[in-house]
Structure 1
């Protein structure tokens, strides 16, 4: 461990002292692992520089790279693909009371779900023949509202530690075993990979993507990092058994896949509780891998930092070398990276403010590889409302020195 910390500090110092594209000794070695796919602008060269500086061709091994999954490694959301499959195949268990499924569910959501879906534990929801039930579940998952527009969740939570509709997804499968959820995710994966790019389907009155694709560039990046001696992790705000189904074929095993972990009962069945992090005990989603929660889980699972310290930014020797994401959900852990902060542009305000401000010169912005978004016409409101505050308000994005990030134009699309 002491040797690992020493070289990590040395590599970080070397990068800090050099321009982002300064050649490394490894760059001249044709046997070093090389990225081979096309990226926007000079992004491949910038990422290759970090691979060379932190990897085996510079005499190092054991640096960490961490990536979000949905819309970072794949196009489209694999948890949503699993929900779609589950709704069409009648496998969601009906709860005794819908309010039991979330600590924050409102009376309005409870009434809407009860009216559309019914109650009474022990049977599966026949959602394939219950479009109103399907609609209520999807609307709550997507927008945290009922179909009538009433808030589905209310109360107090730290908005940088969790979001109720994300925590609610594994709770929809309470009563099923991990093996059963894995089988649903596997069937959904086969279906989504077989569907043509751009395909959609209608569930109730919702139109949802019907396809998922691994990004070739991300496959290549992960494999190159692994060949260069990096430990590659996935850190997702999806359900962990679902994410594992998708990460395993990429060469990232369950031990390197971090997502929302359900507490299991003594029979191995999923419960309404999720594991906690950073001194926060297990509960109905109080602390999940979401914004600052992703940092917490990285610190806890990878660097073995426990208790409240897991929520804090650590010294460079105990931080990832490369972080990659696409949304505000990822902004904290991606910003913690010492070598490169990779962001796929999905027009998410807080993370794009950080990326375009580029305070340390290490932010790497890339359009989505499939169906990229058009240019955002208005600047990101970095100076006013782009930061997601713990109390749920929206405030200015600030640099570590307290200065406000000015509004940023969208230039990489």
Structure 2
């Protein structure tokens, strides 16, 4: 072939390639040409109470990308609490116990335990200093995993787990009961001095141990025993998988520390950028401080707005919908709210109420939550027993009309509907 013929052939091939590329660019894809053809609505596995599986399937059928098939539409949002909603037991507890057993909690600055929480009482600060003060220099790890540090481990665990010292003195005071739980917040605050990467390593080690331990196992923490196992709920794993497959934007909102929940959420396919946990402020080098990030009108370091009751609403509005400032603390228009939410405790009440289509409650006998779920004034609540070791039926009614609600200052009162009507006492019927 002559050089001229070769050149002409190459030019022809190039022209043909350009033509094919142009046709591909303008031609409708098989998916677009036959809407619905490649779209299969996932079907939930069995294992749910009553008609809950059918109600959840209706949610997927209605809001999933196949009905109608519109791949470019905004994805419906689903938000799950984590501890005792997606898993049995508490991953924050599992991490705390691991930290104590492995001597990973640091002596606070100047040995002053009041620097770890603005809500810690003088009695608790003194009890912690007495138990732990002589064991390590400020900023260095306390030997809580050794016999010499067992008393320190016991005092920390008492304050964390019971909100009281070992002598029964109140450990915390002065917090807003609708935006903060100081015991929950204290765990990430005790992670000061570590980086998020290091904490993820601690959480991963705790996760491995707790998943490997048999159901019902306990572990030695200080001189006492503590829960030593965690399990994912198969039904919730399947629900999350099905929602994601159907095109839902699935998030986790938890009152456990951010890096801890990130590690556990990997087990259900949720990436770190879709996890909202308690978040610390950090130094320029990425080291955790005992101060917490704020939300809404609460500035960073004020430590008064974590992912707890109304605080969960604020953080969801901020992180998922981009609402900033005081508006993040308010109920948003329906178009800027999750269509589905799942939770198990009073800490989840506000973001569950915000869900516009369906609200799944895992029954752990929590007063305000069960009052609202059983009242079911708008027909959007469904209740399921715990999937592992479910609670027995509550023997008496929930005190909805008298003390089921806890106000900002801790005062108990009646649970009220949106129209301010009082919710009557409710019987426990799903167990």
TM-score normalised by L of structure 1:
0.91
Aligned counterpart in structure 1 of residue 118 of structure 2, from 103, 108, 111: 103
* 1:75 paired residue among 82, 85, 88: 88
Deviation at 1:206, TM superposition (A): 4.0
Deviation at 1:285, TM superposition (A): 2.2
Q: Which residue of structure 2 lines up, in the alignment, with residue 131 of structure 1? A: 150
Q: Does 1:380 align with 2:398?
A: yes
TM-score (norm 2): 0.87
Deviation by residue 1:344-371 (Cα, 9 ceiling, x = unmatched): 0001000000000001111010000000
SS at match of 2:299: coil
SS of corresponding position for 2:276: strand
Aligned match for 2:170, one of 151, 155, 162: 151
Cα distance in 2 for partners of 1:221, 1:208 equals: 30
Residues 1:284 and 1:196: Cα distance change in structure 2 (over 3 Å): farther
- Of 32, 54, 63, which residue of structure 2 is paired with 1:54? 63
- 2:341 pairs, out of 323, 327, 347, with 323
8 Å contact 1:234–1:258 — kept in the other structure? yes
2:270 corresponds to which of 252, 259, 274: 252
- Report the equivalent of 2:128: 113
Distance 2:208 2:286 in 1: 25
Aligned equivalent of 2:314: 296
1:31 maps to 40
1:235 aligns with 2:248: no
- 1:381 and 1:355 map into 2 onto residues whose CA distance is 13
Aligned-pair CA distance for 1:202 = 3.4
From the superposition, tell whether residues 409 and 90 of structure 1 become closer, same or farther in structure 2 (CA, over 3 Å). Answer: same
CA contact (8 A) 1:79 1:239 kept: yes
How far residue 42 of structure 1 moved from its aligned partner, in angstroms, is 0.8
Structure 1 346/206 Cα, relative in aligned 2: closer, same or farther at 3 Å? farther
Question: 1:353 pairs with 371, 377, 381, which one?
Answer: 371
**Contact 2:254–2:261 (CA under 8 A) maintained in structure 1:** yes
CA distance in 1, matches of 2:404, 2:338: 25
CA distance in 2, matches of 1:65, 1:334: 10
RMSD: 1.4
- The CA deviation string for residues 54-82 of structure 1, in whole angstroms up to 9 with x for no partner, is 11121355000000000000001011101
Given the alignment, which residue of 357, 370, 385 partners 1:339?
357
Greater displacement, 238-247 / 305-314: 305-314
**Bigger radius of gyration, 1 or 2?**
2
2:294–2:302 contact (8 Å) kept in structure 1:
no
Say how many residue pairs are matched: 385
Q: Which moved more, 1:237-246 or 1:115-124?
A: 115-124
Question: For structure 1, which runs of at least 5 residues remain unmatched after alignment?
Answer: 1-25
- Ranges in structure 2 where 5+ consecutive residues have no aligned partner: 1-35
Distance, in Å, in 1 between the alignment partners of 2:275 and 2:366 is 24
Instruction: Give the corresponding residue for 2:212.
Output: 194
C-alpha separation in 2, matches of 1:284 and 1:262: 11
> 2 CA distance for matches of 1:39 and 1:206?
36
Tell me, yes or no, if the aligned pair for 1:272 and 1:284 is still in contact at 8 Å: no
**Mapped partners of 1:122, 1:407: distance in 2:** 51
Superposed displacement of residue 205, structure 1: 4.8
The reply on whether 1:308 has 2:321 as its aligned counterpart is: no
